[in-house]
Amino acid sequence: MSEVLINNVLEELGFRYDPNSVYQQTINSVLHAAALLELPHHLQLILAQPKNEIMVHFPVKMDSGRYRLFKGYRVQHNNLLGPFKGGIRYHASVNLDEIKALAAIMTMKCSLLRLPLGGAKGGVQVDPRSISQDELMRLTRRFTTALGDNIGPDYDIPAPDLGTNAQTMAWMADTYMMMSMPSHSARGQSVVTGKPLEFGGSVGRDKATGQGLVFVLEEILPELGLKLETISISLIGFGNVGSWTGRLLCQRGAKLRAVLDHTGAIRSDSGIDAAALTAHVEKTGGVTGFPGADAINEDDFYRTKVDVFIPAALEQMVDLERAKIMDCKVVAEAANAPTTPPGERHLQDRGIPVLPAVLCNAGGVTVSYFEWKQNRQAETWDAETVDAQLKKHMFAAAARVKLAKHRFDCDMRTAAYVAALESIGRVYRLRGIFP
């Protein structure tokens, strides 16, 4: 095989090639961009490993009176540009490799958006749908306590992700504030973002990731000969990111043809009403049984002809087999790391560009940054200000990616990492390596 399987930097750090490691896939792409930029070797070494990997085990009393032991992670990849920042996910398959990959992606995302933040990610191995709200609250409080001083408003600021939401963040903030000295307690609110509006949240945070993707598509689709107002789309996932993306794109005139979630897949050639589907999912927990569309199987979902295919659920869902049957003009990654390298290569060979997550879903962390800023300055922005600022940030990031693509004649993922690494490289050169 002529292809290089593992980057020499990863090899130097003692990694053994693992085709299923999302971390190795992510760092390989980052290092490919670093090599194009001729980033010094020692900086490549630093970026190829997270700064801190925290793993905790903690007991939670379940409603039955029994105790269960849970495993949680917080990986802090890099804080060169500012405090660590990244979501917390609750999912049964959460593991260290995945959390490390997502933390590294956050470093790149914050840098690409020129936010004064670093990259982190965390999670707990639990299916949140399988336990009660009270159990979820106790789990969240114990996890926050177990993380202790490893998080903080000036140090590491979590946010919601897969399986967590504004309520989870309210419990995390409250727990952190209860553990703080009374005189510092009020400031503790900004330990997390994505909080409910009534408790220090920002207007526009719930729709931010979907809204950011709409701005990115607005900026990039014309180059691909497509118009936002007339595209057809399909979505994997109809949770926070998927449902907002669907609703916002439909409001602009797009047609939602098919949706796949953990309960099944649906399709309607005349278009699915995204607002009605949101109400159905809120009531029933999934897209299955939605009266405005036909039930289809998973393969038929991937085969559905659309302009823009949007994965907004788990990692690695667009693999080689699925890439072979997909019928779309562009893939826009709303989820993190949804495309495997063989899947991406196949799509590229077919002339289907993949717009990377590091750009497409950066609206979430950008409005999280606005929330953190509002909390620290005791300000409340209105919806127009949030939208205008988000648009400015997303357009600028998309422009950086387009510029890097033209300069280096590379794919969009490499271009996004180049644009992120340029800023990181400059700051490392200015700061130097201590001592």
DSSP code, position 339: B
Q: How far is the CB of 286 from ligand NAD (least distance, A)?
A: 6
> How deeply is 430 buried, as exposed, middle or buried, from its count of CB atoms within 10 A (0-12, 13-18, 19+)?
exposed
Q: Stretches 4-12, 256-264, 380-388, 423-431: which one binds ligand NAD (CB under 6 A)? A: 256-264
With CA atoms as reference, report the closest residue to 212 among 104, 80, 109: 109
Q: Which is nearer to ligand NAD, 39 or 162 (CB)?
A: 162
Is 355 a binding residue for ligand NAD by CB under 6 A? The answer is: no
**Is residue 206 classed exposed, middle or buried when 0-12, 13-18 and 19+ CB atoms within 10 A define those classes?**
buried
Residue (43 or 101) nearer to ligand NAD, CB: 101
Residues in the interface with ligand NAD (CB under 6 A) total: 24
Residue 312 or 418 with smaller CB distance to ligand NAD? 312
> Is 262 a residue that touches ligand NAD (CB under 6 A)?
yes
Burial code (b: 16+ CB inside 10 Å, e: under 16) for 243-260 equals bbbbbbbbeeebbbbbbb
Beta-strand relationship, 255-261 and 264-267: antiparallel
Q: Which range of residues in 54-62, 149-157, 220-228, 334-342 is near ligand NAD by CB under 6 A?
A: 334-342
Which position among 160, 201, 204, 353 is part of the footprint of ligand NAD (CB under 6 A)?
160
CB of 435 to ligand NAD, least distance (A): 37
* Cβ neighbours for 435, distance < 8 A, ≥ 6 positions apart: none
Span of 44-52, 302-310, 329-337, 417-425 interacting with ligand NAD by CB under 6 A: 329-337
Supply 36's token pair: 């194009």
Q: Is 289 in the site for ligand NAD (CB under 6 A)?
A: no
Supply the DSSP symbol for 126. Answer: -
**135, 261, 344, 387: which one contacts ligand NAD (CB under 6 A)?**
261
d(CA 279, CA 272) in angstroms, rounded, equals 13
Contacts of 119 (CB under 8 A, 6+ apart): 76, 77, 78, 84, 85, 86, 103, 104, 105, 106, 107, 108, 109, 110
Tokens of 74: 């917080």
* Cα first-last separation, the chain: 43
Would you count residue 163 as binding ligand NAD (CB under 6 A)?
A: yes
Name which position in 72, 200, 204, 364 contacts ligand NAD (CB under 6 A).
364
Q: Which is nearer to ligand NAD, 232 or 366 (CB)?
A: 366
Q: Answer yes or no whether residue 335 interacts with ligand NAD by CB under 6 A.
A: yes
Of 10 and 358, nearer to ligand NAD (C-beta) is 358
φ/ψ region of 41 (left if φ > 0, alpha if ψ in -120 to 50, else beta) reads alpha
Nearer of residues 5 and 92 to ligand NAD, judged by Cβ: 92
Task: By CB under 6 A, tell whether 22 contacts ligand NAD.
Answer: no
Tell me the closest approach of the beta carbon of residue 431 to ligand NAD, in angstroms: 28
Q: Which of residues 23-82 bind ligand NAD (CB under 6 A)?
A: none
Q: Which is nearer to ligand NAD, 32 or 262 (CB)?
A: 262
Residues marked as catalytic: 121
User: By the 8 A CB rule, do 148 and 142 touch?
Assistant: no
Regarding 361 and contact with ligand NAD (CB under 6 A), the answer is yes
The residue nearest ligand NAD at its CB is 239
Looking only at the bridges linking them, the beta strands covering 264-267 and 232-236 are unpaired
Complete DSSP assignment for 234-299: EEE--SHHHHHHHHHHHHTT-EEEEEEETTEEEE-TT---HHHHHHHHHHHSSSTT-TTSEEE-HH
**Region near ligand NAD per CB under 6 A, out of 76-84, 138-146, 155-163, 269-277:** 155-163
Given the rule CB under 6 A, which of 29-37, 169-177, 257-265, 323-331 is the region that contacts ligand NAD?
Answer: 257-265
Does position 394 interact with ligand NAD (CB under 6 A)? The reply is: no
Q: Which amino acid is at 21?
A: S
Strand 354-355's sheet: what is its strand order? 294-296, 264-267, 255-261, 232-236, 308-311, 330-332, 354-355
Token pair for residue 168?
A: 């989870």
Q: Does 314 bind ligand NAD (CB under 6 A)?
A: yes
Question: For ligand NAD, which stretch binds (CB under 6 A), given 76-84, 249-257, 309-317, 383-391?
Answer: 309-317
Work out how close the CB of 397 gets to ligand NAD at its nearest, in angstroms, rounded to a whole number: 14
Residue 416 to residue 414: CA distance in whole angstroms: 5
Residues 210-239 that bind ligand NAD (CB under 6 A): 236-239
- Binding-site ranges for ligand NAD (CB under 6 A): 160-163, 209, 236-242, 260-262, 286, 312-314, 334-336, 361, 364
